[in-house]
Structure 1
């Protein structure tokens, strides 16, 4: 690759100078940004929804041209030599871009034809990539039947059919469990050892922190360019941990976020993590008798601070929610030996737990583990083979309609009507949930106001940015003030600011007595849960609070494990037990 280095200067594979791109006259998608991507490194693109990450990646492919400024890739100008650029890069788009009705092998064959891979090279190339991605056992499986992690591995294999000098990955970890994300990361790290340059766009800030360099974008502007540790250092001395909290930690978080000088705060198990304003002493009056200690800064702390802080602790949605808080009630959600078989395959096996009113319960597990099957049985969307489930005392087999009327459901994939406008979706779901007359108009108007839909009421739902799609889905799910809320990976692919806004609403609803069942691949979201069931190969292998699960895997080498550490360690231990049996 020395010719590329000579042409670009140093080890830069991409150079962009003064790049501006507009889709809207009033607001550029990219605003005069300048930077470079080096060979042998992973460069992270991070920023909130609409920051310009995907636009920048598409400019690097030569499929899109800048309005002003220049983009050079592999020494070629994107305006003059897009074909030369496209021959030397690999590109994996944000959405799964392969053919779901073709098998793994058929997708590889098709992309080999499209990429012009000589036939005499194919057998060896396929063998190498299938071994690299651990897909050899699945060559005959339809791509649409693969788990989220396996789909991403297949996408990566197709992008690598002709070994690129530059690999562009647009949010490859979205919807993928932590184990599969680590597998993908290791694969990409191995590629950089060969000198390949990688651009990795991500909503997972632990991924960004592991990059060699990062570009932080917001509203089309480049706010930071450099090593992640340099950004993290900006939050040094401003991060605190509140522990030993008397009473409900969500209530304390809400009060702390409203204190002057606090720019961000999140729940971490039984504790709270806070970030404060630079050069200002903060007293944390709302902490009361709780213990406040200094904590090591993380990339996420500095990221949120640079973007102006989190959304605060107030939830207008929760303030308008009726209260369900009643002491001494039976569990609101009950799973008793729930089992679901599809032919000879057992997707969920003897799942048992219960959830008291006003708690958040998390279902965690790798892709394909059985958590969504369990989730759908409790929603009444799947009939269990054995066992029983209850919602607010109603049996899901006998009283399906009554049980469903008590819950709000937000699906894993955007499940609203894309061809209907925002306003039409709100009106439709209000009607589905039995609202009518003045009450219906009042609730639709309230959701429109709370979620800031006024200027977008006539937009088709399918063209909304992801963060707004999730807001609309949540608004429709809570339209009828349900006492139970089912959230299936509700913030997958959403940026950290939007995730905080979302969880501000959820925490507020829980304080009103709403009971929440959630599945997620974001381990920081798992920290919000009161209890967690970790599901693997259809069975619950661990049940407890986030802190209890972390304590189970703590050892001398890792005395303070993260939730992700616990997730991976517990699954590895279960697999070792299974192999030994």
Structure 2
């Protein structure tokens, strides 16, 4: 294609003998469009983006970027493109302005042009009021906006963004998306690698990779059309929805299934009558309702379906006794001040045994502060928190032994092997002797760590890092499980596997507190507290929160619609 800003011709890339990162990729990137680069963890997305920058060379085939061959003219390409890698190299001890100055020096931006360009970019990214703030003190969304500004210091004809939305709340992601969409109106070609499939659905075109192979290239609607008539909503479910989903997924021919509030969303195979069979298995009293397919439905279908509804982890976990009346996790007026700044103010809720409770909110709203106070990592200024009846101030050691914690950022020891991490955390949680060996062997078998026992944790693919973090958190069979954005950046197949385990553990009586920016994950929660500017602004089930914002224009809002509307409503009241 002559007007392509990137032409990829029969490109293959290997790392060593065993790993085929890319295999015979043929594709093109057009100007004035957003091309989504999607696929599971380890599919080859980052490798393909780095090949486009000229930072790596293909083993076979060729790439032409803006008319330059990456093998011969890498320097010409690198001066003409904008590139924002997955872990963008902002200097956290420099201010917003100092980061811009540094990247302007690195890009050779003439000093006479800088003031006008800085002013334009700071206005464009809405960072003009924060030029003196240290980058390390910016919210996740603001960091990504600063990263984008640095990538745009010299207006490129091609902008490469490697998962820019990871760890960013829905409002900031929409802002980021709108900013990038505006760039395409100037003819800039954009490659947007993403784990959020609602973003992929909004792209002009998508390239879908899996295990180094290109499975699909075209408009998102072309892929979504492949599951037309095979996506259903099961409502009016008798009993608890989590075991109902597991039973539905056990029906042969069911491709995928997720919880949506009190309902279940299913993708079926081609066999007639599968939806009705799954509805009977799930205990749905209403007839399955055909619904509009999403890109994620087609994505999972193309990859051969989700992981099913069975959790070997939960099957190997003892059931906790039902205790009526006593919540497992309690927050009573929790407050935290950092100097004059109130990060969390008078947060209160209770979580009974065997429920999932979600803390949602924009970046910097106070949800992580609340979360850390409740798992004993941060001492509250006021109020109290309890886990399994133990006060986190007075009985912190006893409380911590009853909980498992999975951090927002990978918090295991990267230089230790998989086996060494499992052994270390088993010891931290007080396991010894035969019990310790038994639990380590069990985690190794359930999560298939055997072939990678001796591999350093830092070298694991992201999906396996998350599995290892979960295995370490549940090693001691905790009563309460604290999950801080546990699937950030992870592909949908791995996320489904993760939530299969969590849903099944909850049915064994485990109580879960979770923070997440994936609004479809929020649907798994029994109740949600939405936190904004340090205060709880809404509390209820996913369906209750959606019902609060439903109107004639949005009669059936999504969780993302509810999140944004409730935050904007709170802002309007405060104005």
TM range (shorter): over 0.9
2-structure distance, mates of 1:379, 1:488:
11
Q: 290, 294, 305: which one pairs with 2:285?
A: 290
- 1:505 matched to 2:497? The reply is no
Aligned residues: 571
Q: 185, 188, 203: which one pairs with 2:195?
A: 203
* Secondary structure in structure 1 of the residue aligned to 2:29: strand
Q: 157, 167, 170: which one pairs with 1:178?
A: 170
Q: 381, 402, 420: which one pairs with 1:424?
A: 420
2-structure distance, mates of 1:530, 1:115:
50
**Cα pair 1:261 1:280 within 8 Å, conserved:** no
2-structure distance, mates of 1:98, 1:190:
24
* Residue of structure 2 in register with 1:520 after alignment: 516
Deviations 1:405-460 (A, max 9, x none): 10000011111111100000000000111101111000000001111110111111
Q: CA RMSD in A?
A: 0.8
Give 1:142 deviation, angstroms: 1.0
* Residue of structure 2 in register with 1:216 after alignment: 208
**Cα pair 1:334 1:389 within 8 Å, conserved:** yes
Give 1:295 deviation, angstroms: 1.2
* Residue of structure 1 in register with 2:327 after alignment: 331
2-structure distance, mates of 1:63, 1:261:
44
2-structure distance, mates of 1:112, 1:577:
41
- 1:410 matched to 2:406? The reply is yes
Q: 541, 546, 552: which one pairs with 1:545?
A: 541
Quick check: 397-406 or 493-502, which moved more? 397-406
* Residue of structure 2 in register with 1:125 after alignment: 117
- 1:157 matched to 2:152? The reply is no
Give 1:327 deviation, angstroms: 4.6
Q: Which runs of 4+ in 1 moved over 6 A?
A: none
1-structure distance, mates of 2:47, 2:272:
37
Alignment of 1:138-157 (within 5 A): 138-157=130-149
1-structure distance, mates of 2:82, 2:183:
12
* Secondary structure in structure 1 of the residue aligned to 2:5: strand
2-structure distance, mates of 1:289, 1:123:
63
Quick check: 114-123 or 277-286, which moved more? 277-286
1-structure distance, mates of 2:283, 2:386:
39
- 1:40 matched to 2:32? The reply is yes
Q: 305, 308, 312: which one pairs with 1:309?
A: 305
- 1:265 matched to 2:260? The reply is no
Deviations 1:350-400 (A, max 9, x none): 001000100000000000000000000100111111111111111111111
2-structure distance, mates of 1:278, 1:192:
38
**Cα pair 2:333 2:345 within 8 Å, conserved:** yes
- 1:361 matched to 2:345? The reply is no
Give 1:287 deviation, angstroms: 2.8
Give 1:236 deviation, angstroms: 0.4
* Secondary structure in structure 2 of the residue aligned to 1:168: strand
Give 1:294 deviation, angstroms: 1.1
Deviations 1:242-281 (A, max 9, x none): 1111110001001110101101000000000000112443
- 1:300 matched to 2:292? The reply is no
- 1:467 matched to 2:463? The reply is yes
* Secondary structure in structure 2 of the residue aligned to 1:542: strand
* Residue of structure 1 in register with 2:565 after alignment: 569
* Residue of structure 2 in register with 1:3 after alignment: none
* Secondary structure in structure 2 of the residue aligned to 1:260: coil
- 1:442 matched to 2:450? The reply is no
1-structure distance, mates of 2:16, 2:442:
29
2-structure distance, mates of 1:253, 1:333:
26
**Cα pair 2:235 2:284 within 8 Å, conserved:** no
Give 1:145 deviation, angstroms: 1.0
Give 1:96 deviation, angstroms: 2.6
**Cα pair 2:6 2:29 within 8 Å, conserved:** yes
TM-score by structure 2 length? 0.98
2-structure distance, mates of 1:279, 1:55:
38
* Residue of structure 1 in register with 2:233 after alignment: 241
2-structure distance, mates of 1:407, 1:263:
34
* Residue of structure 1 in register with 2:394 after alignment: 398
Deviations 1:27-72 (A, max 9, x none): 4100001000000000000000000000000000011100000100
**Cα pair 1:329 1:357 within 8 Å, conserved:** no
**Cα pair 2:231 2:267 within 8 Å, conserved:** yes
* Residue of structure 1 in register with 2:375 after alignment: 379
Give 1:290 deviation, angstroms: 2.3
**Cα pair 1:488 1:519 within 8 Å, conserved:** yes
* Secondary structure in structure 2 of the residue aligned to 1:12: coil
Q: 314, 318, 325: which one pairs with 1:318?
A: 314
TM-score by structure 1 length? 0.97
Deviations 1:119-161 (A, max 9, x none): 1000000000001001111111111111100000000000000
* Residue of structure 2 in register with 1:494 after alignment: 490
1-structure distance, mates of 2:203, 2:101:
32
- 1:226 matched to 2:218? The reply is yes
* Residue of structure 2 in register with 1:478 after alignment: 474
* Residue of structure 1 in register with 2:106 after alignment: 114
- 1:559 matched to 2:572? The reply is no
1-structure distance, mates of 2:339, 2:36:
43
* Secondary structure in structure 2 of the residue aligned to 1:336: strand
1-structure distance, mates of 2:492, 2:499:
10
Unaligned stretches of 5+ residues in structure 1: 1-7
